[in-house]
């Protein structure tokens, strides 16, 4: 999560292909995003950023193909963070929040600073990338964001300790309703919302466990039966494979 937008712009303007797993350049201000796209288009190079989203899952490729073939996207929703998906699972199983975050970091799921994940900013950036791929002129501040863990400005450990009680209540209330907690993003033409919600345990989103991502595409073609993409959304191996896939697309 380094601010490499100026470097990407320089490379694209100079005629270099760019492949990245970094969300920041693609989810910054709309003006900066449009400058990157314009530089790519003017030099005719490729800008591969499939792995900014869902590690190796073919999310953006699928989305762009739907748009390019004339389909109309109504909504994209789901769990966009392998890190938070893993945390939802182990917290539901009774693990303490502090231990859960430490374990997620040890497994290589979190950003170098876990607060990027726990604040919801990482998911919000992915939602911005999705929205822009749908043709929405979205600014980062347009996302209605509720953090996964509140109070992070007080420090990571303090926030997690303070969250223990409210989390237990949220888990209890969800269980009473036959539901589970999931950190869900929803992108529609009306706006973008990101937050922790209770979803039916038997639903497509509720059935996701561990670091899997799930995306549910509702379109004009896929209205009665939405198009669902599901698979690992975090981890070095699947992310590296996704980056290599973008490189190979350029080579071919």
- Supply the residues annotated as catalytic: 126
DSSP code at position 142: G
- Residue 193: helix, strand or coil by DSSP? strand
Taking the C-alpha atoms of residue 230 and residue 206, their distance in angstroms, rounded to an integer, is 12
How far, CA to CA in Å, does 118 sit from each of 87, 186, 201? 10, 18, 22
Taking the C-alpha atoms of residue 31 and residue 198, their distance in angstroms, rounded to an integer, is 36
Strand bridging mode 18-19 / 73-79:
unpaired
Taking the C-alpha atoms of residue 174 and residue 166, their distance in angstroms, rounded to an integer, is 12
Query: What do you get for the CA distance between the two ends of the chain, in Å?
Result: 28
How far, CA to CA in Å, does 169 sit from each of 80, 117, 166, 176, 230? 24, 22, 5, 11, 29
Total residue length of the chain? 252
């Amino acid at each position: 999560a380094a601010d490499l937008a100026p470097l990407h712009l320089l490379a694209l303007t100079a005629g270099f292909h760019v492949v990245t797993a970094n969300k920041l350049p693609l989810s910054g201000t709309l003006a900066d995003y449009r400058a990157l796209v314009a530089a790519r288009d003017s030099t005719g190079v490729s800008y591969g950023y499939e792995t900014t989203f869902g590690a190796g899952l073919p999310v953006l490729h699928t989305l762009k193909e739907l748009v390019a073939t004339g389909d109309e996207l109504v909504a994209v929703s789901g769990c966009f963070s392998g890190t938070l998906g893993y945390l939802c699972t182990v917290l539901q199983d009774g693990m303490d929040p502090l231990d859960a975050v430490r374990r997620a970091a040890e497994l290589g799921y979190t950003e170098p600073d876990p607060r990027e994940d726990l604040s919801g900013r990482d998911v919000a950036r992915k939602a911005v990338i999705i929205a822009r791929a749908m043709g929405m002129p979205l600014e980062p501040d347009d996302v209605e964001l509720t953090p996964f863990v509140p109070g992070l400005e007080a420090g990571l450990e303090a926030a997690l300790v303070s969250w223990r009680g409210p989390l237990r209540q949220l888990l209890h209330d969800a269980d009473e309703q036959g539901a589970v907690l999931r950190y869900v993003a929803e992108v529609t033409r009306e706006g973008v919302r990101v937050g922790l919600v209770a979803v039916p345990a038997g639903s497509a989103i509720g059935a996701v466990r561990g670091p899997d991502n799930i995306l549910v595409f509702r379109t004009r073609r896929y209205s009665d039966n939405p198009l669902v993409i599901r698979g690992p959304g975090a981890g070095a191996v699947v992310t590296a494979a996704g980056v290599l896939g973008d490189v190979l697309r350029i080579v071919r």
